Structure 1
Amino acid sequence: MELFLFMLERVGLIIVFAFLMSRWRLFRDMLFQEQGLKEKIWLVLIFSALSVVSSYTGIKIESGTIHPLNQMIHSTINAEEAIANTRLIGVAIAGIFGGPFVGVCVGIIAGVHRITLGGFTAIACGVSTILAGFITGGLSQQLKIRQTFSYKKAVTIGICAETLQMIVILAIARPFEQALQLVSLIAMPMIMMNAFGIFIFFMIIKTFIDEEERTKALQTHQAFSIAQLTIEHFRKGLNEESCQTVAKIIKREIKVDAVAITDTNGILAHVGVGEDHHLIHREIMTSLTKRVLVEGHIITATSAKEIHCPHHDCPLNAAIVLPLKVQQHTVGTLKLYFMNATSLTGVKKELAEGLSRLFSSQLEYAEIERQRKLLKDAEIKALQAQVHPHFFFNSLNTISSLIRTDANEARALLLKLSTFFRSNLQGARQMLIPLKNEIDHIEAYLAIEQTRFPNRYNVQFQVDASLFDVHIPPFTLQPLVENAIYHAFKNRKEGKIFVQVQRVDNKLLLLTEDNGCGMRKEQVKQLGKSIMQSEQGTGTALWNIYQRIHEIYGKEADFQILSTLDVGTKIKIQLPLKATRWE
């Protein structure tokens, strides 16, 4: 029992060692990640040191009795003496975590060192230590203990290694009677305490690794939660409105003293402590931020001097400044400020780094989306700018004929043609125009067509004049009226078209209805969703309208085509009244 207690005391050294090593990230990474030669050498040095210290701090035993503990470290051992120690814990753990190479190297170093200490079991203990390195390293690799982190397998290997040492002592140490007496005294305490030491070492390392994984999981969850809250704002790019909202979200979720966001020129948002002098619309104040913009990597400051704020009484004493990048180019910074440097913990640093990467990705996606929309806009505007040659020349011929018979009518029609082309050009330049402009465009078109074909089309308008200032995409109604004239009334002498614009449940309803030839269900299903090739036309105008309203309004827009063969066609468009104006 006395030896059990003394051995437990020595195991305490192993526990302290395990605790200290568990706090060293490099050591944890070496244990559980792929190990190169450099990592293996580090493990050899660490565990060899542990085994050597264990030998020095062993418990002297002479003639079957425990020596008085008059000294803690034993640099030499007399010929009649032996020592009980925890040396094999270091060797076993080295073999388990480092594999055969590390186990053998630590076993040789610890074994040779044990031989140099002396004592009648020196050779036996040295040989058993070297064998333990071979056995633990080999078995660990076969049983994949490092990968599975099996407590039972590790403890079993430790028991086997210590049992082997007892057998070797009996086989080699002489005189045999003294060796037998020693083994009968130390076997059970050493086997049990060494197995216990391995178990404790495993448990401490695993506990810290589990805690680290839980922390990372929480950080990941929090980072993705913040990313989810901010994604719709960062989609708008780096501007004052979006950055101000994002800064408030980050400050609330991470609980820092202040959050700031900048572009490459100035402060776009600052929320929290220091708002009185870290003002938006200003150029970047701190040299710390300027460094991040130039160098493009994360910089941490733990004092007001490092932040270098020119405001004398600035209460911010610590900060982490992270670059925001788009296609590897730094386009701005995210800054987390603290009044107390101790608040800038490692957890907050890692979370901030994750947010920096996520926000950079969001900005990059926003830029890609912006470029895609620009390309889409260019395609759409090219379509909008097209004018049917036949319409143009027919209009000129009509005006030319009128000049001889009715000069005033010709003049009025020429003004309508001018209005029509002006609307075309305006639509090619702008993404949204007042509803009144769209109605004028329709009226100009109808004036020309009805002059060419008098009394053939009867067009009725029901438009709420209070909506004239509401902005809508250009070429939303006019192409629908044009389609009706060109396609709905083929082989018919007369036709009626009804145009309605009104407010319905906070939505803008745009409706055109005709009593023309109608369409088959198969045609209706494809119209607006794709461009078709048919005798009746391509459906480009409807596809154009469908694409634009969904690009601008997303799911808030609704586009419906209702048609019955030989009865007529109704096209209904609903847009949100609170639309975002595109510049």
Structure 2
Amino acid sequence: MLNLAPLMLEKVGIIVIVAFLLAQMRSFRQVIQNKHSTNEKVMLILLFGTFGIISNYTGIEVHHHTIGRAEWLSEMNQESALANTRVMGIVIGGLLGGPAVGIGAGLIAGIHRYTLGGFTALSCALSTILAGIVAGYFGKKRKQKGKQITPAFAVIMGMVLEAVQMLIILITAKPFSHAWELVQLIGFPMIFGNGLGTLLFMLIIQIMKRDEERARANQTNQAFLIADQTLPYFRQGLTIHSCKEISEIILELTNADAVSITDDQQVLAHVGAASDHHVPKTKPETGLTRRVLDSGKISLARTKQEISCIHSQCPLEAAIVLPLKVKNNIYGTFKMYYTEPEKLDKVQQELAEGLANLFSTQLELAEAERQTKLLKDAEIKALQAQIHPHFLFNSLNTISALCRTDADKARKLLLELSSFFRGNLQGARQMLIPLEKELANVKAYLSLEQTRFPNKYTIDFQIEPELEKVLIPPFILQPLVENAIHYGFPQSKSQGQITVTIFSKKNLLQIIVADNGKGIPEGQIEVLGNQVVDSKKGNGTAIFNISERLKGIYNGQASLMLKSKVNRGAAITISIPLDSKGVFDQDVEGLYIG
């Protein structure tokens, strides 16, 4: 018994070494870890069946009390038996692959063992098949309960089923005296040898799984990091600037030697190796990119010839090119290049595919956001275009009357009316205008109103110097002045006072329109600006429109606030960010049309 133990450890070592070498193969790791399809189950049957055959060939022949030499066994004496590690592989196969794998591998190894002969041939064949059935059954049951196949559980199964093999030998092998002598000699070395081998084998698989999980976690974290840093640029769409920033981020965070992004017509960005001839604003240099744009399918290249760059000295020797899709339409390509083909491994492929899917999703979201903004802009333009028709008719009637009594003043008012409506038309086409334009529009409106009601009110402008060029939304000041005139003191016998104060404070432009009129009832203050109210004199549409436009333009960074006391007046304060570039993410000067 003691002489057999070292030899059994040697045979265990052979199987463990084979297992370790297989664990370095990605195909083996995938088969072990995935939920097994029919093809993968066939592979596992062949794999663990082969382990059993190797164990048979490398086993130790035992003839009565004599232990044979360590050699490759192709046939045995009919009075001999075989000490080996066959059950170890079958048990592990059944535990990992389930009953089908256990039975299949058990049949392969058991039938092979039977062909080698020996007085325990039938016993060993039966016990091997039984080990596969039992291991497969308990492995499946354990998985159904949501439990893992731990090394401890596998060791217990391996040792128990090896002990069952000893029992089957005692029951079926003839003569019994020889069987008993054999079990006494090989029983404990085989039980503990197979237990140790099973432990080492399962530890290798466990380490392999842990390494795969760690690699996936690192890859996921890397993808999330790239997504987090590139998201602000994808929201801008595929532009030369945004694509350059995206490519630089990916180049820094991956093993790629060059990163490139194209739309369906031209290169938008290329950073890293070969930047001298892969230039933005030119057509794609490689045939590989053009094939992906035509087919919409991922393409891999591991040679310069497959990349098909028109420059013979191009250092790029491997690439993965992926289509960027928006609503199943080819929008462009995302490319990762390598100067050495070995760098383009499976991890890089999976990362690139994940990034391409993520980028396609981000482009779809950016397009949806752009469409939403266009719709919002259209709503804002519609609000800006609202003009009170009665004001036009009243003004024309006033000018018509003056034509008979004061032609010069009528001419002046006609020019003011023209200026007012020109400002309205320009404002309806623009998101922002300079403050001085809005003030000019207000003063044109006041000239017409004060002609109709010469002694009804006075108005005072208090404007902080150097704010005339600040950009503000059109039609936010004139409606407030109009409201103060018409609703602040509609039938007051005393002259009303309106003050327009504009100044900067804490990087905000403050616009305050205050009057000393009748004020706003307390119940209306809470709803004005948030909804249209029911009133005989007005419904708050102007204030509501201004509030909605501020929300749409400044994304919540602007505000409108009302304060009032009945019969003592009202004040409306608008706060607008002075740094509009941060709000729009674009050059706001482009929003103003001369």
TM range (shorter): over 0.9
* Mapped partners of 1:407, 1:47: distance in 2: 108
Alignment-derived partner of residue 74 in structure 2: 75
Structure 2 residue aligned with 1:295: 295
Whether 2:171 is the aligned partner of 1:171: answer yes
1:100-499 map, 5 Å? 100-144=99-143, 147-254=147-254, 256-464=256-464, 466-493=466-493, 494-499=495-500
Contact (CA 8 Å) 2:560, 2:572: kept in 1 or not? no
Q: Match of 1:148, SS?
A: coil
Aligned to 1:42: 43
Gap change, CA 1:9 and 1:488, over 3 Å in 2: farther
Cα distance change on mapping 1:519 and 1:198 into 2, 3 Å? farther
Amino acid at match of 1:212: E
Cα contact 1:561–1:572 (8 A) shared by 2 = no
Partner of 2:61: 60
Secondary structure of 2:459's aligned partner:
strand
Q: Structure 1 CA distance, aligned partners of 2:304 and 2:525?
A: 68
SS in 1 for 2:98: helix
| Pairwise CA distance, 1:158 | 0.9
Q: Deviations over 1:321-341 (max 9, x none)?
A: 222222222212222222223
Shift of 1:129: 1.2
Change beyond 3 A, Cα 1:314–1:104 = closer
Query: 1:435 & 1:104 partners in 2: Cα distance?
Result: 85
What's the CA shift for 1:170?
Answer: 0.9
The aligned residue for residue 13 of structure 2 is 12
SS at 1:256's partner residue?
A: coil
Range moving further from structure 2, 77-86 or 342-351: 342-351
Q: Distance in 2 between matches of 1:523 and 1:9?
A: 92
Code of the aligned partner of 1:264: D
Equivalent-residue separation in structure 2 for 1:260 and 1:501 (angstroms): 49
Segments of structure 2 that go 5 or more residues without pairing to the other structure are none
Q: Structure 1 CA distance, aligned partners of 2:414 and 2:541?
A: 28
Q: CA deviation at 1:245?
A: 1.9
Q: What SS does the corresponding residue of 2:297 show, helix, strand or coil? A: coil
TM-score by length of 2: 0.91
Is 1:98 aligned to 2:97, yes or no? yes
Check the 8 A contact 2:550/2:556 in 1, yes or no: no
**CA gap 1:523/1:293 in 2 versus in 1, 3 angstroms:** farther
1:384 and 1:475 in contact (8 A); partners too: yes
| Cα pair distance change 1:514/1:257, threshold 3 Å | farther
User: Which region of structure 1 is more displaced relative to structure 2, 424-433 or 145-154?
Assistant: 145-154
Contact 2:380 2:552 in 1 (8 A): no
What residue number does 2:501 align with? 500
User: Cα distance, 1:30 vs. partner?
Assistant: 4.0
- How far, CA to CA, are the matches of 1:396 and 1:337 in structure 2? 70
- Structure 1 residues 407 and 2: alpha-carbon distance in aligned structure 2, compared to 1, 3 A threshold: farther
Per-residue deviation, 1:409: 1.8
Return the alpha-carbon distance in structure 1 between the equivalents of residues 273 and 217 of structure 2.
30
- Structure 1 stretch displaced more, 448-457 or 142-151: 142-151
Shift of 1:547: 3.2
d(CA) in 1 for partners of 2:452 and 2:93? 97
**Residue 571, structure 1, aligned to residue 588, structure 2:** no
2:142–2:149 CA contact under 8 A, matched in 1: no
State whether structure 2 residue 552 is matched by structure 1 residue 551: yes
Q: Is the 8 A contact 1:92 1:136 kept in 2?
A: yes
Residue 513 of structure 1 aligns to a residue whose secondary structure is strand
Deviations 1:245-304 (A, max 9, x none): 222222222253322222122122222333332222222222222222222233232233
How has the CA–CA distance of structure 1 residues 249 and 527 changed in structure 2, closer, same or farther, with 3 Å as cutoff? farther
Instruction: Return the letter of the residue paired with 1:513.
Output: A
Rate the CA distance shift 1:549–1:88 in 2: closer, same or farther, 3 A. Answer: same
1:84–1:186 contact (8 Å) kept in structure 2:
yes
Counterpart amino acid of residue 142 in structure 1: K
Judge conservation of contact 1:516–1:569 (CA < 8 Å) in 2. Answer: no
Structure 1 residue 372 displacement after superposition:
0.5
Q: Which amino acid aligns with 1:420?
A: F
Q: 1:34 to 1:517 in 2, by over 3 A?
A: farther
Question: 1:305 Cα deviation (Å)?
Answer: 2.8
- What is the alpha-carbon distance in structure 1 between the residues aligned to residue 547 and residue 15 of structure 2? 72
Distance 1:489 1:343, change over 3 A: farther
Q: Is this contact kept in 1: 2:123–2:165, CA < 8 A?
A: yes
RMSD: 2.4
Say which is worse superposed, 172-181 or 250-259, in terms of deviation: 250-259
In structure 1, C-alpha distance between the alignment counterparts of 2:476 and 2:238, rounded to whole Å: 31
CA distance in 1, matches of 2:489, 2:345: 74
Give the CA deviation at 1:88.
0.9
SS state of the match for residue 526, structure 1?
A: coil
Give the drift of 1:122. 0.6
Partner residue, 1:561 = 562
1:96 and 1:146 in contact (8 A); partners too: no
Kindly indicate whether the alpha-carbon contact (under 8 Å) linking 1:470 and 1:577 is maintained by their aligned counterparts in 2: no
Q: TM-score, normalised by structure 1?
A: 0.93
After superposition, give the CA deviation of every residue in 1:549-570 in whole Å (9 maximum; x if it has no partner). 3333335434433334433123
CA displacement, residues 360-389 of structure 1 (integer Å, 9 cap, x when unaligned):
222111111110111111122112212222
- Could you say if the C-alpha distance between residues 307 and 468 of structure 1 is closer, same or farther in structure 2, counting changes exceeding 3 Å? farther
What's the offset of the Cα at 1:141?
2.2
Q: Given residue 261 of structure 1, which amino acid in structure 2 is its aligned partner?
A: I
**Contact 1:304-1:317 within 8 A present in 2 as well:** yes
Q: What one-letter code is carried by the residue in structure 2 that aligns with 1:215?
A: A
Structure 1: 5+ residue stretches without partners: none
CA distance in 2, matches of 1:278, 1:365: 29
SS at the partner of 1:34? coil
- C-alpha separation in 2, matches of 1:386 and 1:360: 40
Contact 1:514/1:570 (8 A) holds in 2: no
* Separation (CA, whole Å) in 1 of partners of 2:106 and 2:79: 24
Once the 2 structures are TM-superposed, how far is the Cα of residue 179 of structure 1 from its aligned partner? 1.1
CA shift, 1:519, in A, is 3.2
Cα distance, 1:44 vs structure 2: 1.9
More off after superposition, 164-173 vs 229-238: 229-238
Mapped partners of 2:317, 2:182: distance in 1: 63
Task: Give the C-alpha shift of residue 491 in structure 1.
Answer: 4.1
Question: Do 2:563 and 2:571's aligned partners in 1 also have CA atoms closer than 8 Å?
Answer: yes
Q: Secondary structure in 2 aligned to 1:75?
A: coil
Secondary structure in 1 matching 2:462: strand
Alignment partner of 1:152: what SS? helix
Q: Is the 8 A contact 2:95 2:149 kept in 1?
A: no
Cα–Cα, structure 1 residues 312 and 37, in superposed 2: closer, same or farther, change >3 Å? closer
1:156, distance to aligned residue in structure 2 (A): 0.9
Q: For the Cα contact (< 8 Å) 1:442–1:478, is it kept in 2?
A: yes
Assess, with a 3 A threshold, how the Cα gap between structure 1 residues 537 and 188 changes in structure 2: closer, same or farther. Answer: farther
Instruction: Single out whichever of 208-217 and 19-28 deviates more from structure 2.
Output: 19-28
CA distance in 2, matches of 1:365, 1:127: 62
Distance 1:273 1:489, change over 3 A: farther
